[in-house]
Chains A and B, each alone.
Chain A
Amino acid sequence: MLDSFHKRSFAAIIMLAIWCSVATLMLLHYSVIDRDHYLRLGNRIARRKGIYYPDRARILDRNGVPLAWTERSFDLYVVFTSENFFLRERTLEQLRSVIADAGLTRAGENMFLVKRDISPTELVKLEKVMARYPAVKVIPRLERVVIDFPSVREYIGRTTNRDGRIIGLSGIEMQYDAELSGSPGTYQIMLDREKNWIPNSWQLLSQAIPGEGIVLDLTLDEIKKREKTP
Chain B
Amino acid sequence: MNRLRDTKPGIRPEKHFMMSMMAQSMIFLLGLWGCLAIYNSNLLGASPFYFVSRQFIWLIIGMLLMFFVQRIPFSLIRENAEVLALLAYIPLLVVLIAGERINGMRGWFSFGAFYLQPSELAKPFFILALCRFGLSVNSGIKRYMTLFLITVLWILPIMLQPDIGMALIYLAAFIATYWLMHGSFRHLLLTLAACVPVGLVLLYHYSYLLGRITGFLNPELDPLGNGWHVRQFQFTLARGGLFGSKIGGAIWSNSYLPLAHSDSMFASIVESLGFVGSVPVILLFAGIIGIFYRFSLNAQNNFRRVFILAMTIMIAIQVLVHISVNVTLIPPTGLTLPILSYGGSSLISTLLAFGIMLSAASRHDTARADTAC
What are the interface flags for A187-230 relative to B under an 8 Å C-beta threshold, 1 for contact and 0 otherwise?
Answer: 00010110000111100000000000000000000000000000
In the complex the two chains form, what is the Cα distance from A192 to B251 in whole Å? Answer: 9
Q: Is the CB of B234 within 8 A of A200?
A: no
Asked if B18 is an interface residue, CB under 8 A from chain A, the answer is no
Q: Is the CB of B254 within 8 A of A198?
A: yes
What are the interface flags for A1-43 relative to B under an 8 Å C-beta threshold, 1 for contact and 0 otherwise?
Answer: 1101110110011001001101110111011101111110110
In the complex the two chains form, what is the Cα distance from A22 to B330 in whole Å? Answer: 11
B241 partner residues in chain A, CB cutoff 8 A: 31-32, 35
Q: Is the CB of A12 within 8 A of B275?
A: no
Partner of A23, one of B4, B7, B327: B327
Select the residue from B45, B251, B270 with max chain A CB neighbours within 10 A: B251
Q: Is the CB of B252 within 8 A of A42?
A: yes
Select the residue from B8, B44, B255, B293 with max chain A CB neighbours within 10 A: B255
User: A118 → chain B, closest Cβ, in Å?
Assistant: 19
Asked if B313 is an interface residue, CB under 8 A from chain A, the answer is yes
In the complex the two chains form, what is the Cα distance from A86 to B131 in whole Å? Answer: 50
**Contacts known (A23-B320, A192-B255, A198-B255); A12 close to B235, Cβ less than 8 A:** no
Partner of A9, one of B239, B279, B282, B293: B293
Q: Is the CB of A26 within 8 A of B329?
A: yes
A72 partner residues in chain B, CB cutoff 8 A: none
Which A residue sits closest to B182, measured CB to CB? Answer: A4
Q: Is the CB of B242 within 8 A of A199?
A: no
B270 partner residues in chain A, CB cutoff 8 A: 27, 31
Partner of A39, one of B8, B179, B238, B296: B238
Asked if A162 is an interface residue, CB under 8 A from chain B, the answer is no
For chain B, the bracket of interface size reads 35 or more
Q: Is the CB of A12 within 8 A of B182?
A: no
Which B residue sits closest to A39, measured CB to CB? Answer: B238
Asked if A87 is an interface residue, CB under 8 A from chain B, the answer is no
Q: Is the CB of A28 within 8 A of B323?
A: no
Q: Is the CB of B327 within 8 A of A30?
A: yes
Q: How many A-B contacts are there with CB distance less than 8 Å?
A: 122
| Subset of 19 A-B contacts with CB under 8 Å | A1-B302, A2-B8, A5-B305, A9-B293, A16-B316, A19-B324, A24-B279, A27-B275, A27-B323, A30-B234, A30-B237, A32-B241, A42-B238, A46-B255, A46-B256, A131-B46, A190-B255, A198-B251, A198-B254
Which B residue sits closest to A6, measured CB to CB? Answer: B297
Which B residue sits closest to A130, measured CB to CB? Answer: B46
Q: Is the CB of A32 within 8 A of B255?
A: no
B302 partner residues in chain A, CB cutoff 8 A: 1, 5
Q: Known A-B contacts: A31-B240, A131-B46. Give 14 more (CB < 8 A).
A: A1-B4, A4-B182, A5-B180, A5-B182, A9-B180, A23-B329, A26-B329, A27-B237, A27-B327, A28-B275, A35-B238, A38-B238, A39-B238, A42-B252
Which B residue sits closest to A192, measured CB to CB? Answer: B255
**Contacts known (A1-B302, A8-B180, A38-B234); A31 close to B324, Cβ less than 8 A:** no
In the complex the two chains form, what is the Cα distance from A13 to B45 in whole Å? Answer: 40
Asked if B286 is an interface residue, CB under 8 A from chain A, the answer is yes
Partner of B1, one of A1, A39, A201: A1
What are the interface flags for B226-268 relative to A under an 8 Å C-beta threshold, 1 for contact and 0 otherwise?
Answer: 0000010111011111100000010110111000000000000
Q: Is the interface of A mostly helix, strand, loop or mixed?
A: helix
A199 partner residues in chain B, CB cutoff 8 A: 44
Which A residue sits closest to B274, measured CB to CB? Answer: A31
In the complex the two chains form, what is the Cα distance from A128 to B46 in whole Å? Answer: 6
B235 partner residues in chain A, CB cutoff 8 A: 38-39, 41-42, 45
In the complex the two chains form, what is the Cα distance from A41 to B286 in whole Å? Answer: 33
In the complex the two chains form, what is the Cα distance from A23 to B286 in whole Å? Answer: 13
In the complex the two chains form, what is the Cα distance from A192 to B329 in whole Å? Answer: 26
In the complex the two chains form, what is the Cα distance from A6 to B299 in whole Å? Answer: 12
In the complex the two chains form, what is the Cα distance from A57 to B296 in whole Å? Answer: 78
Partner of B180, one of A12, A31, A192, A198: A12
Select the residue from A13, A41, A193 with max chain B CB neighbours within 10 A: A13
Q: Is the CB of B313 within 8 A of A16?
A: yes
**Contacts known (A39-B239, A131-B45); A19 close to B320, Cβ less than 8 A:** yes
Which A residue sits closest to B238, measured CB to CB? Answer: A38
**Contacts known (A12-B309, A31-B275); A38 close to B237, Cβ less than 8 A:** yes
What are the interface flags for B272-299 relative to A under an 8 Å C-beta threshold, 1 for contact and 0 otherwise?
Answer: 0011001100100010010001001100
Which A residue sits closest to B327, measured CB to CB? Answer: A26
Partner of B256, one of A5, A19, A192: A192
In the complex the two chains form, what is the Cα distance from A38 to B231 in whole Å? Answer: 9
B214 partner residues in chain A, CB cutoff 8 A: none
**Contacts known (A16-B320, A38-B238); A32 close to B45, Cβ less than 8 A:** no
**Contacts known (A23-B329, A26-B329); A31 close to B256, Cβ less than 8 A:** no
Q: Which residues between 163 and 183 of chain A lie within 8 Å of chain B, taking CB atoms?
A: none
Which B residue sits closest to A28, measured CB to CB? Answer: B275
Asked if B176 is an interface residue, CB under 8 A from chain A, the answer is yes
**Contacts known (A24-B279, A27-B278); A193 close to B180, Cβ less than 8 A:** no
In the complex the two chains form, what is the Cα distance from A34 to B242 in whole Å? Answer: 12
Q: Is the CB of A9 within 8 A of B309?
A: yes
What are the interface flags for A41-68 relative to B under an 8 Å C-beta threshold, 1 for contact and 0 otherwise?
Answer: 1100110000000000000000000000
In the complex the two chains form, what is the Cα distance from A18 to B135 in whole Å? Answer: 29
**Contacts known (A19-B320, A35-B241); A24 close to B282, Cβ less than 8 A:** yes
User: A22 → chain B, closest Cβ, in Å?
Assistant: 7
